[in-house]
């Protein structure tokens, strides 16, 4: 692998030659904000078993268990702030370079960093809200977790008494159609996609960078571990995402002022 500086220079020249830049992000962009990724030790994912969508719908015990996990995860999320990789993506948008952020994350840190809501596509939903599965009424997750103990971990809608469910996509739940469609549209338009912090093992989300690649886009991978798709990357970085994004942003600012 070339040195860090060479790879940054190479990336800057690809950025300069691109007209429609997008980013695809996964749990790895948020580890430096204190949210463990899926496969590292220490996350709620390690201590709780998976509850599928079908179990959530059919079993009161499964719902209670799921809500306990969500309470713990939400309390952790409320303490986390965007890191330099998130803020660099927000700055790239302000510079007019970044057109969309397609994320698998549910932590809303791209919103908190300052990317425009209409440019963020959340493929797996968001932990900011819960909703009624009957009438669709939306609730702030922060408020729902406050009442969980009072309602024996089975919160219900105050309009229609339907079950509340976190607005994240559970295992076995269909992907949100609109988000998937928008993500594919962006992957069609993009000529450069940053792939930041994903093992690319969760489908169909992982098909987005593959789709962009097969439509002729260049890809810059910023991921600590190897992925099965590293061959698609024109440049790849194993360094921490915040370090790489900082270096790219500073390089772009230098180019602009020179």
Taking the mean position of all CA atoms in its chain, how far away is CA 134?
A: 27
Per the CB < 8 A criterion, the answer to whether 129 and 140 are in contact is yes
Binding mask 171-200 for ligand NAD (x = CB under 6 A): --------------------------xxx-
Structure tokens at 91: 């700055």
Per the CB < 8 A criterion, the answer to whether 210 and 203 are in contact is no
Q: How open is the CA angle 244-183-23, to the nearest 5 degrees?
A: 10
124 is catalytic: yes
Using CB under 6 A, pick the residue from 8, 26, 91, 193 that binds ligand NAD: 26
Q: Tell me which stretch binds ligand NAD (CB under 6 A): 31-39, 110-118, 175-183, 249-257.
A: 31-39
Instruction: Calculate the alpha carbon distances from 224 to 1, 165, 198, 236 in Å.
Output: 14, 33, 9, 10
Give yes or no for residue 208 binding ligand NAD (CB under 6 A). Answer: no
Catalytic residue among 86, 110, 111, 124: 124
Using CB under 6 A, pick the residue from 27, 100, 101, 220 that binds ligand NAD: 27
**Count of residues binding ligand NAD (CB under 6 A)?**
26
In 3D, which of 84, 88, 82 has the Cα closest to residue 15? 88
Determine the Cα–Cα distance for residues 236 and 173; give it in Å rounded to an integer: 32
Using CB under 6 A, pick the residue from 11, 15, 22, 37 that binds ligand NAD: 37
Interface ranges with ligand NAD (CB under 6 A): 26-28, 30-32, 35, 37-39, 104-107, 124, 197-199, 201-202, 222-225, 240-241
Active site residues: 124
């Amino acid at each position: 692998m070339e040195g860090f500086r060479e790879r940054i220079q190479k990336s800057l020249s690809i950025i300069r030659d691109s007209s429609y830049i997008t980013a695809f992000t996964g749990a790895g962009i948020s580890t430096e904000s204190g949210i463990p990724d899926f496969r590292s030790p220490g996350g709620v994912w390690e201590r709780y078993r998976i509850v599928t969508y079908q179990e959530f719908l059919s079993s009161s015990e499964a719902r209670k268990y799921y809500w306990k996990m969500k309470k713990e995860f939400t309390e952790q999320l409320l303490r986390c702030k965007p890191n330099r990789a998130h803020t660099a993506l927000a700055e790239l948008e302000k510079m007019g370079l970044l057109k969309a952020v397609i994320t698998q994350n549910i932590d809303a840190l791209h919103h908190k960093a300052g990317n425009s809501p209409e440019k963020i596509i959340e493929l797996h939903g968001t932990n900011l809200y819960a909703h009624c599965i009957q009438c669709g009424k939306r609730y702030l997750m922060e408020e729902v977790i406050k009442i969980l103990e009072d309602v024996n971990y089975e919160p219900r809608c105050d309009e229609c008494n339907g079950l509340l469910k976190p607005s994240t996509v559970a295992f076995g739940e269909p992907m949100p159609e609109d988000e998937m469609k928008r993500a594919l549209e962006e992957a069609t338009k993009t000529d450069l996609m940053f792939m930041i912090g994903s093992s690319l093992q969760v489908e169909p989300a992982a098909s987005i960078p593959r789709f962009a690649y097969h439509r002729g886009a260049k890809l810059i991978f910023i991921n600590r571990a190897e992925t099965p798709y590293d061959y698609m990357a024109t440049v790849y970085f194993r360094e921490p995402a915040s370090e790489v994004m900082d270096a790219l942003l500073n390089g772009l600012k230098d180019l602009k002022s020179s």
